[in-house]
Amino acid sequence: MATELNVVTGGLSYIGKHITQRLLSQGKQVAILTGHPNRPNPFGNRVSVTRFNFYNEKELARSLHGATTLYNTYWVRFDYGEVSFSKAIEHTRRLIAAARSVGVRKIVHLSVSNPSSGSPFPNFRGKAITEEMIKQSGLAFTIIRPTLVFGGEEEILVNNIAWLLRRFPIFAIPSPGTYQLQPIIVDEVADLAVTEADTNVNTVLDAGGPEILSFEGLVRLIAQKVGSHPMILRTSPALSIFLLKIVSRIVDDVVLTSDELGALMSNLLVSKDPAIGRTRMGDWLDRAAANLGRRYASEFNRHFHC
């Protein structure tokens, strides 16, 4: 019997890299589709790496030929230049059509917690649209909705909070700071994705961690674990965004968008379902704090300068 092929979109990026590693550790055959084929490949000749070709339907279908499962982590974080949420939606539509045309058995799709077609935030609105595309595709599917994913070398938010805490005497928190998030470690999201590939029931799953923290509580926890003692001030959201723009200029990156802050303050990073994750943020920080935030993790360097 031929070995089943698993295709992972974004397999050289964050969650996709962890899914790829899980599959390889189980002796499975893996191919990666990516927008950055020149990015360092930690898997060597164990995987094939192909660039997305969203504008050539035949080439896109060929890149999925022989696949039984498609793990889709492809998405964008914000509009920038020719990269946009609207294009990401269209590219996802083409990817689903290509998967259907070559007989992919199942799609395991990484979405976001609390997506809504009526959301004022383009990330959550776009994810709701792509979820509906998958549900209507006729393919078997599992849709996973992670809350805030942390851990691993590619993680950005928690690392960069630690970076700021290590370097600045003041840390501004948009008032009131009590809005909540439910962090889940990336390893558990990857494990869930790989496990769900073998199920026969179409499923939509929230993936939240074992604890719900306020944003201020998260910042204070990170500060404690990395040994930082800045003055933590509550400011207006507008002032926080202004200060973030100053930091963004310093690091030549987008630290946090106003939409991302708005989603956070709307408690969209908390699941209404029972927790799936088991790793607590504090326990992970005990292991990771020594190196966390030593270097700034740049979104631009990873997705636009490579």
Model pLDDT for residues 10-39, shown as the tens digit of each residue: 999 999 999 999 999 999 999 999 999 988
Q: pTM here? A: 0.96
Model confidence at 103, in pLDDT bands (50, 70, 90)? very high
What ranges do the domains of the chain cover? 5-147+184-207, 157-181+211-299
Could you write out the DSSP letters of every residue in the chain?
-PPPEEEEETTTSHHHHHHHHHHHHTT-EEEEEES-TTS--TTGGGEEEEE--TT-HHHHHHHTTTEEEEEE----SS-BTTB-HHHHHHHHHHHHHHHHHTT--EEEEE--SS--TT-SSHHHHHHHHHHHHHHTSSSEEEEEEESEEE-STT--HHHHHHHHHHH-SEEEEETT---EE-EEEHHHHHHHHHHHTT--S-EEEEE--S--EEHHHHHHHHHHHHT--PEEEEE-HHHHHHHHHHHHHHHTS----HHHHHHHHTTTBS-SSPP-----HHHHHHHHTTTTTSS---HHHHHT--
Question: Percent of the chain beyond pLDDT 70?
Answer: 99
**157-181+211-299 CATH choice from 3.30.700, 3.90.25, 3.90.930, 3.30.960:** 3.90.25
pLDDT mean over 177-189: 98
The pLDDT of residue 1 is 40
Fold of 5-147+184-207: Rossmann fold (3.40.50)
Model pLDDT for residues 198-229, shown as the tens digit of each residue: 999 999 999 999 999 999 999 999 999 999 99
